[in-house]
Every structure is written in C-alpha cells, then in structure tokens.
Chain A
C-alpha cells in the first residue's frame, strides 16, 4: 500500500530550530512537497524536492533521501507565526499527490 507518516504534533520555542520528519512508502516517486496550513486556512506551498539533498529557502529548508523514503522540513529562528500544520505530500508517479495527515507545530514564547 501507499503510506506517508508524520508526527501528529510537535512543540518548540520561539527562536529555536525544529525538524519535522516525513517517511513514505509509495509505489512510485516523482517528487515530495511540503505545505504549510494555518488553522482554518488553505494549504500553501513551501518546497519541492525530487533529488536527494538539502534545498534551502530562507528560514525553511527541506531534505530528501529517496533510498530511505525520508524527508524532513527544517525551520530555523522560529516565530510565533510559524504555528501551523505542516503537510508532507508525495507525487507517486501518476501525477496525483498522496498526503500525510500533517504535523501540528505549536510555538511557545
């Protein structure tokens, strides 16, 4: 079957660094996305990885290891506005995305 696993909830402190992990098992692979979703709002695109390695974009970075079926999203210099759910999604090769249940990130002052 096809499966994407993420932790349900994480807590971090303002100004700190947090790493949100995502593991996947899919029949095909054509890239991995990270989205951010604030409560009551729509998901918005953060990053896309298709090759192994780290992609850095400001305070956010995303890492992919295809051989391990593993990705993480790294958030640096956390701000209160980063409190949101972070969704991992895999393009399984049939142009449709398979979504994880999301990780709710709580930032404390």
Chain B
C-alpha cells in the first residue's frame, strides 16, 4: 500500500520553464490538496479538489494550475516558473471535507527555481 506518492522528489528548474508536479493516491479519497511550505511560514494552500472533476483556488493560487481528471491523480503545473516558487510542495488527500477528516500527506517535492 503506497498511500500517496509524489514525483519528482526534488527538481532544479530554470526560470521560465514549465513544470508539472505529480501526485497519486490509492486510498480512494475524494478530496486532494496542494500546499507549499516555506521556512517560517505555515503550510499554504495552493489549490484543492473536493471530488474528481472539480477544483478550487486556495490562498496562493497565482502561477499554478491543477486538474482532477480522476480520483487518484492531482497534478500541479507551474506554467512559467519564477524564483519565488522555490519551495517544498506537499500533496495531501482526505476521505472527505467534513471537519474531522484528517489529511494524509505525500513525501513532498523540493523545487528550486533559478
């Protein structure tokens, strides 16, 4: 049982390049999330999806896009990377969106934009 996986583990990217971070879960969770985590700041929500076929914007969506074609996959795309997008990116999933649903996190992707 893998749970939730992310790829790549780490990446160095030139500014202006397009990049897709992959996230796959095998728990059949309805909700999925993308966060970025920067030193001294809390996890910040980029985009979320409450169920397959729907997506929504979080706190810091600019420069990022997502899609949710099926239950398992939730890729995050940076259309034209900028240095301020250097961060650790975590994908998470939860069974539903009601209050008590804990979120399960993937191992993260460390992205450096030069």
Work out how many contacts link A and B, with CB atoms closer than 8 A. 49
Name the interface residues of B38-77: CB closer than 8 Å to any CB of A: 40-45, 48, 50, 58
Stretch from B11-19, B20-28, B78-86, B105-113 forming part of the interface with A: B105-113
B contacts with A: majority SS: loop
Name the interface residues of A53-109: CB closer than 8 Å to any CB of B: 87, 89, 91, 95-102
A30-B99, A87-B42 given; A95·B50 CB < 8 A: yes
A42-B107, A44-B105 given; A100·B42 CB < 8 A: yes
Number of interface residues of A (CB under 8 A): 22
Contact yes or no, B42 A95, CB < 8 A: no
Residues of B within 8 A of A50 (CB): 99-100
Residues of B within 8 A of A (CB): 31, 40-45, 48, 50, 58, 90, 97-100, 102-108
